[in-house]
Amino acid sequence: MRLESYVAGAWQAGGGRAILLRDASTGAVVAEASSEGLDFAAVLRHAREVGGPALRALTFHERAALLRALGKRLLDFKPEFYALSHATGATRGDSWIDIDGGIGTMLVFASKGTRELPNSRVYLDGALEGLSKGGSFVGQHLCVPLEGAAVHINAFNFPVWGMLEKLAPALLAGVPAVVKPATATSYLTELVVRRIIETGLLPPGALQLICGGVGDLFDHLGCQDVVSFTGSASTAARLRTHPAVVRHAVRFVAETDSLNSSILGPDAGPGTPEFGLFVREVAREMTVKAGQKCTAIRKAIVPRGLLGEVVAALQAELAKAVVGDPRAAGVGMGPLASLAQRDEVLARLAELESEAERVAGDPERFEVTGGDRARGAFLPPLLLLCRDAASARAVHAVEAFGPVSTVIGYDGLPGAIALARRGEGSLAGSVFTADEAVAAELVLGLAPYHGRVLVVNRHCAQESTGHGSPLAPLVHGGPGRAGGGEELGGIRGVLHYMQRTAVQGAPDVITAVGGRWARGSRERDPGVHPFRKPFHALAIGDTFRSAEREVTVDDIERFAALSGDNFYAHMSEQEAARNPLFGGRVAHGYFLISAAAGLFVDPDYGPVLGNYGLDALRFVKPVKPGDRIQVRLTCREKSLRADKGWGEVTWDTEITNQAGETVAAYHVLTMVSVHAIPDRP
């Protein structure tokens, strides 16, 4: 079967000589792939001219709804995906990480898009910046979708997760994707893309697939395109310096293989929960996906005095691994993705063995359950021990991208940190300790050289996702050798595909551009109390100004009696006079908020369904007995929840005193019905 690429709205098979893709366990041909003859300029043109406009016409919430619907639909195809995934060498557990993990990541972005992004096409980044004394000149950062294509080049080890974890934030941002999976396992990616296209959920041009090489695709990149790459550091360097990438300053997000470490704390000796957790985690990272993970533990850094105990415990744990065809019963570790990958690992193993001794596993003698020993890409877990890591080179520079890890000893926490940092930039590090002070020192020492640091102890271990698990809400990437980029990270990942622009001007201009009322902008007279208007009738800038209310000593004392807040500044004129901030008795800040609600709330039944919080509350100036307060309430921002029959409305709220000075400012958050006020029963 020759795989097809999905480009310019059609499935197309490449011509010429194809690459044979083989089952990792049996060597049988699964498919063949070629992209020869594809018009790569047309691929990018289709993304820019068809996919981009269709996605940008949708709001963030509408794009999130597409992701949610697509993720739920993909769950129906899991049995088909799992069956084919075995050919890549993945066990059922490996496939769960790849397939369920990928779909789960898409659903996380769908949820975050709905909860954390506005129901609009513009994302306002940060607060309004005052740029002048009088407030007539202000600035606002905003983000809009890039108008090019997101070119996603993925690695062979996660043909589903690798695609979906990049695709979800790009589509949520409003940028169409061109996916290029690693050829060795592209048959699984192609199947998933076929099912995605068949759902009809995505707009035309939102997703294209290239099975095979990228041809001259990079020659046609422009300043609005983004390249997101996962793979080797050498390939990343070659692509990053492509003339078109350099000439057009194309955004290049790289996540490359790195030498990741796990450190056993000095307190975590044999018999402690943390010792057992460490041993099991190192063994798991060596056997899951046959060690083919960019986040896998390559260096197990342990107190020098515990080298013998750690090696013995790992030998016992690794001896439990059953290597073989993932389809065979009892197999817990499958083959590598290909014979070429196995040969690459053995070559790197030889380099490591020049300065470390192998203490577990023999690539020449090990049992294989099922599969074809000669034609399958099998290796056992291979554990090395480096007794002089300080003077070693290979253990800090050579990565065998397979079931290989090296145990090294350290003297003192600074020594452990130095050994981990010699990887010159890592995706992930982990620490196993029950001592919070040890954890703090190690985390802060590792942080400059690591994209993510996991700390495991007996209290969080049961719920911990493990050393090698990137999570959608957290950034995935790292400095230096790890590529210098970031993926995932929740909304941070979405912003990789957007242009941040600083807009300067009058408050009314900022309001018009961003769709969010800027303080100092024109206030609108709604004609009625704005709480009487349903969601769609409300306009940004609709404002209510209340009558005044005098704050009295009796108010303060009754609030103290009701709330139990008898802080001296409210209750004693003498003691409050000693406070340099107040110089006398003042009203409770929370009384002012309550009194303000009494001034602006319309009490009758209406479209406002409820108040769900306050944001950005600041008490600016104290209020003393005899002061008079007044409230301004302005419709600041609207975000429709169409499926719920209501929308979120944020009200800019300001309490002023009789001199017009601001005493408190905050945002009131309400849920407002889309329906008009019904007649009274």
Q: Which spans in 542-619 are helix H?
A: 553-563, 568-571, 573-577, 589-600
Residue 511 in this model has a pLDDT that exceeds 70: yes
Residue 678 in this model has a pLDDT that exceeds 70: no
Task: Kindly report whether the global pTM for this prediction surpasses the value 0.85.
Answer: yes
Note the pLDDT of residue 652: 94
The string of pLDDT tens digits covering residues 531-581 is 989 989 999 999 999 999 999 999 999 999 999 999 999 989 888 888 888
213: tokens are: 């090489």
| Pairing status of strand 177-180 against strand 207-209 | parallel
Told to judge if 223 belongs to the known catalytic residues of this protein, a careful annotator would answer no
Told to judge if 147 belongs to the known catalytic residues of this protein, a careful annotator would answer no
Helix axes 186-199 and 161-173, enclosed angle (nearest 10):
40
Cβ-Cβ contacts under 8 Å for 385 (sequence gap 6 or more): 307, 311, 356, 357, 359, 406, 407, 408
Residue 603 in this model has a pLDDT that exceeds 90: no
Low-confidence winner among 220-234, 442-456, 639-653 (lowest mean pLDDT): 639-653
The string of pLDDT tens digits covering residues 235-294 is 888 999 999 999 999 999 988 888 999 999 999 999 999 999 999 999 999 999 999 898
170 contacts 47 by C-beta, under 8 angstroms:
no
Residues 190, 255, 285, 441: which is the catalytic one? 255
The stretch 505-531 carries a mean pLDDT of: 91
What the chain holds in terms of domains, given with CATH numbers, is: 4-126+142-255 (3.40.605.10), 260-482 (3.40.309.10), 523-673 (3.10.129.10)
Note the pLDDT of residue 679: 54
pLDDT band at 135 (very low <50, low <70, confident <90, very high): confident
Helix axes 60-75 and 161-173, enclosed angle (nearest 10):
160
Note the pLDDT of residue 680: 52
Cβ-Cβ contacts under 8 Å for 437 (sequence gap 6 or more): none
The string of pLDDT tens digits covering residues 613-668 is 999 999 999 999 999 999 999 999 998 887 788 889 999 999 999 999 999 999 99
3 state SS of 487: strand
Instruction: Give the torsion sign (CA, 515, 519, 525, 527).
Output: positive
Residues 294, 399, 487, 635: which is the catalytic one? 294
The string of pLDDT tens digits covering residues 350-396 is 999 999 999 999 998 898 998 788 889 899 999 999 999 888 999 99
